Amino acid sequence: MRLCPYAALREISNMADEKKLFKVTIDNITIEVEPGTSILQAARKIGGDVAPPAMCYYTKLKGSGGKCRTCLVEVAAGSTADPRPMPKLVASCRTNVMDGMVVKNITSERVIDARNGVVEFLLINHPLDCPICDQAGECDLQDLSYNHGKEGTRYEFKRRTFKKHDLGPYIQLHMTRCILCYRCVFTADQVTNKRIHGVLDRGDHSEIATYIEKSLDNDFIGNVIDVCPVGALTDRTFRFKNRVWFTKPVDAHCNCTKCSGKVRLWMRGDEVLRVTARKDEWGEVEDWICNTCRFERKKVSDWTIEGPTDVSRQSVISQGHYVDVKKPEEFLPEVMGGRHPKLVMDIHSISDVNKVELSELPGPATSKTFVNSRESGVGSQELGG
Ligand code: SF4
Ligand code: FES
């Protein structure tokens, strides 16, 4: 049957619109993504542990990535057309997927070994001052070190140290903690449109140049605090006020004329201790916020509170918050080809605690409460123990 010219044209344009998707398998899980997607972004579509850690890549910052090497993965097959493996591990934030590519992240011993090495390298100069660092509890390097760090160091030389530097009334730069990820440089360059700071010198002498001060009058420079993956750039209005896990994060907004006004308030009781931008599940800022919202609106009356922030259960910040705690997705069975991990003991099936509604007891639970619950069956516990 011949199509009329208009229908034929429509068909051709539909075919052009239909994008060919690339199939990629990461840690035994296959997904389809658009051509031009990086391995890191493809892995983030699967989510959970399958997504490699990223210390320098930042979706919203053009040109970021390729500096820290924490996102290394193994490419076991390059593509359907050329299924040879890539000889070296590749930075997943800077390598695009090909059709039929097979990638290994947590299923590769080489990757885990290399990641351990990268963490050891990052910790050569980074001080282990987490007990007094304001970033503790929300520091990417701290999380990475818990997962991949060694208990000791092989480094015998003097570590490089710098004096703390106040960048105006609101920001402090502590270069000793900097891992030279360049995120703050890109932020100053792309968000404030007025980059006056950058990385000076080479190798061991590299540092974020202190003439960052010259861009301090820009309304959006406070965002460098949020993008810094470690505690090198901190909010002077919050420093040493509280540990982040003792504060309660709530989402709030205001009618701001300079930015979206959508922020996260970090509260202790009725006090707003800190204001930051909201971050997504990958720890990246959703909307850049202005300095006025960040540093000058510290009263509850300045904000319309939307409700408690969804905090990942893996985060130490979820300690003590029982509302909207998100259970992380479980990927192990899929990664292990359908096999479930073997449980030595399922505590839920043998514990009497779960058979008693503790919140309904008028007083504290005693051993009598559980004895009675066992005798009378599930759900008919004696109240008042
Ligand atoms: S100060 Fe922070 S954001 Fe800037 S390069 Fe150093 S670690 Fe990265
Ligand atoms: S996140 Fe890929 S190299 Fe840093």
Of 38, 41, 44, 56, the one to substitute when testing ligand 2's pocket (max ligand atoms within 8 A of C-beta) is 56
Choose the weakest-confidence range: 25-34, 233-242, 262-271, 362-371: 362-371
Contact 92, 52 (CB under 8 A): yes
Q: What is the pLDDT of residue 337?
A: 84
Percent of the chain with pLDDT over 70: 79
Q: What ligand is nearest to the CA atom of residue 198? A: 1
pLDDT higher than threshold 70 for residue 213: no
Q: Is 188 in the pocket of ligand 1 (CB under 6 A)?
A: no
Q: Are strands 90-91 and 72-77 parallel, antiparallel or unpaired?
A: antiparallel
Choose the weakest-confidence range: 13-17, 56-60, 83-87, 197-201: 13-17
Percent of the chain with pLDDT over 90: 51
pLDDT higher than threshold 80 for residue 8: no
In 73-110, which positions are buried (b, 16+ CB within 10 angstroms) versus exposed (e)?
bbbbbebeeeeeeeeebbbbbebbbbebbbbbbbbbee
Choose the weakest-confidence range: 166-170, 182-186, 251-255, 320-324: 320-324
Report pLDDT digits (tens) over 309-365.
Answer: 888 767 777 776 656 666 777 788 888 888 887 777 776 666 666 666 655 666 666
Contact 244, 138 (CB under 8 A): yes
Separation of 122 CA from ligand 2 center, angstroms? 13
Task: Give CA–CA dist 5/56, Å, rounded.
Answer: 52
Report pLDDT digits (tens) over 122-178.
Answer: 999 899 899 999 999 999 999 999 999 888 888 888 888 888 888 878 889 898 999
Separation of 30 CA from ligand 2 center, angstroms? 23
Higher pLDDT, 97 or 196: 97
Task: Give CA–CA dist 173/266, Å, rounded.
Answer: 21
Q: What is the pLDDT of residue 381?
A: 40
Higher pLDDT, 205 or 55: 55
Q: Where are the alpha helices (DSSP H) in 54-151?
A: 109-122, 140-148
Integer CA distances (angstroms), 92 to 47, 48, 54, 75, 98, in order? 14, 16, 9, 10, 12
Q: Give the confidence band of 118 by pLDDT, cuts at 50, 70, 90.
A: very high
What interhelical angle do 109-122 and 140-148 show, nearest 10?
130
pLDDT higher than threshold 50 for residue 383: no
Side chain identity at residue 61, one-letter code: L
pLDDT higher than threshold 50 for residue 385: no
Index of the ligand 2 atom closest to the CA of residue 54:
1
Q: What ligand is nearest to the CA atom of residue 140? A: 1
Residue 212 phi/psi, 5-degree rounding, is: -55, -30
Choose the weakest-confidence range: 45-49, 211-215, 278-282, 307-311: 211-215
pLDDT higher than threshold 80 for residue 79: yes
Q: What is the DSSP secondary structure assignment for residue 14, as one 8-state letter?
A: H
Contact 33, 21 (CB under 8 A): yes
Index of the ligand 1 atom closest to the CA of residue 227:
3
Separation of 93 CA from ligand 1 center, angstroms? 18
Separation of 57 CA from ligand 2 center, angstroms? 5
Report pLDDT digits (tens) over 48-73.
Answer: 899 999 999 999 999 999 999 999 99
Q: What is the pLDDT of residue 277?
A: 97
